[in-house]
Amino acid sequence: MSASDSKYWAVVPAAGIGRRMGTEIPKQYLELAGKPVIEHTIERLAHHPMICGVVVALAADDPWWGQLTLELSVPLERVTGGAERCHSVLNALSLLKARGANDDWVLVHDAARPCLRLEDLDRLIDNVDDEDGGLLAMPVRDTMKEADGDGRVAATRDREGLWHALTPQLFRVGSLHDALADAVVANELVTDEAAAMERAGRHPRLVEGHGDNIKITRPEDLALAEFFLRYQADELRARTISGLDDGG
């Protein structure tokens, strides 16, 4: 099946509270460039022409979601999230399966990654077309140290072949649902979707993305994300002006 014949859904797990931020509200609802982080995230996904709908997994008692002012051109649905990320994603996938989307593709993206580039989304979709799926990632460039129990260096690890996993992560709805369900039954709380697929014997493709696709985890990340959003807007503006100057 070609990309043009396939349906693509986005799932955004957003039931977490982000303890490392040390704030009173979850990090996905903190203000970034004039609106909550999660609004940037959902709008980036929904504005891609291949995305036909977005499912957000929220905490059952989430008091902030209703304050958002999202205006999207695709359907936006919510499900109740679970105790861990894997439970939240599984609940969203169950909704899609119930809608007959078993053979469709799903892009699972962190709520706290608001700087996703549409060109990275294009590259992921263009390069993943088999049952193993794939994910955006970045090659490790720093020297990697392994720590012992006392916080001292136990070993230096070869960074060759190591990648930082990013999101979105792209898989068939049915395949990912089954892989996550099996992991949950086995009480293996995988921390990303690729790990569930690896556990099921799959070998997801690594697709290199941009380093500005950061996950907001600590307070200083908000300022960095705002810088990246401004930079991306300036970059797009420069491309547009260049195209006009060239007669495009």
Residues 84-118 pLDDT 10s:
999 999 999 999 999 999 999 999 999 999 999 99
Q: Give me the percent of the chain exceeding a pLDDT of 70.
A: 94
Contact 168, 158 (CB under 8 A): no
Across the range 148-154, mean pLDDT stands at 94
Residue range 48-80, pLDDT digits in tens: 999 999 999 999 999 999 999 999 999 999 999
What confidence score (pLDDT) does residue 241 get? 83
What confidence score (pLDDT) does residue 1 get? 40
Cα–Cα distance measured from residue 192 to residue 209, given in angstroms and rounded to the nearest whole number: 17
CATH code where residue 57 lies: 3.90.550.10
User: Amino acid letter at 243?
Assistant: G
Domain presence at residue 116? yes
- Token pair 């990340």 is found at 221
C-alpha distances (whole Å) from 202 to each of 84, 178, 198 are 22, 12, 5
The DSSP letter of residue 84 is S
Domain presence at residue 149? no
For 154, phi then psi, to 5°, come to -95, -30
Domain presence at residue 212? yes
Domain presence at residue 152? no
As beta bridge partners, residue 32 has: 35
Number of folded domains in the chain? 1
Q: DSSP strand E in 30-189: where?
A: 31-32, 35-36, 51-58, 76-80, 105-108, 134-139, 144-147, 153-157, 163-172
State which residues form the domain around 76. Answer: 3-135+168-245
Task: Give the CA-trace dihedral at 177, 179, 180, 182, to 10 degrees.
Answer: 120
Confidence class for position 17, pLDDT limits 50, 70, 90: confident
> Is the pLDDT score of 174 beyond 80?
yes
What end-to-end distance do the CA atoms of the chain give, in Å?
33
Q: What angle do CA 29, 32, 35 make, to 5 degrees?
A: 70
Domain presence at residue 142? no
Cα–Cα distance measured from residue 42 to residue 10, given in angstroms and rounded to the nearest whole number: 9
User: Amino acid letter at 175?
Assistant: S
> Is the pLDDT score of 203 beyond 70?
yes
Domain presence at residue 163? no
Which helix (H) or strand (E) is 8 found in, with range?
A: strand 8-14
Domain presence at residue 155? no
Confidence class for position 245, pLDDT limits 50, 70, 90: low
Mean confidence (pLDDT) of the chain: 93
Cα–Cα distance measured from residue 212 to residue 207, given in angstroms and rounded to the nearest whole number: 15
- H-type alpha helices, 151-192: 173-185
The larger pLDDT score, comparing residue 120 to residue 241, is at: 120
Across the range 200-210, mean pLDDT stands at 98
Across the range 193-219, mean pLDDT stands at 98
Cα–Cα distance measured from residue 189 to residue 233, given in angstroms and rounded to the nearest whole number: 37
Other beta carbons within 10 Å of 211: 12
* CA neighbor of 110 nearest in space, from 26, 214, 199: 214
C-alpha distances (whole Å) from 35 to each of 38, 74, 209 are 8, 20, 25
pTM of the model: 0.92
Written as six digits, the tokens of 29 are 């609802």
Domain presence at residue 151? no
What confidence score (pLDDT) does residue 237 get? 87
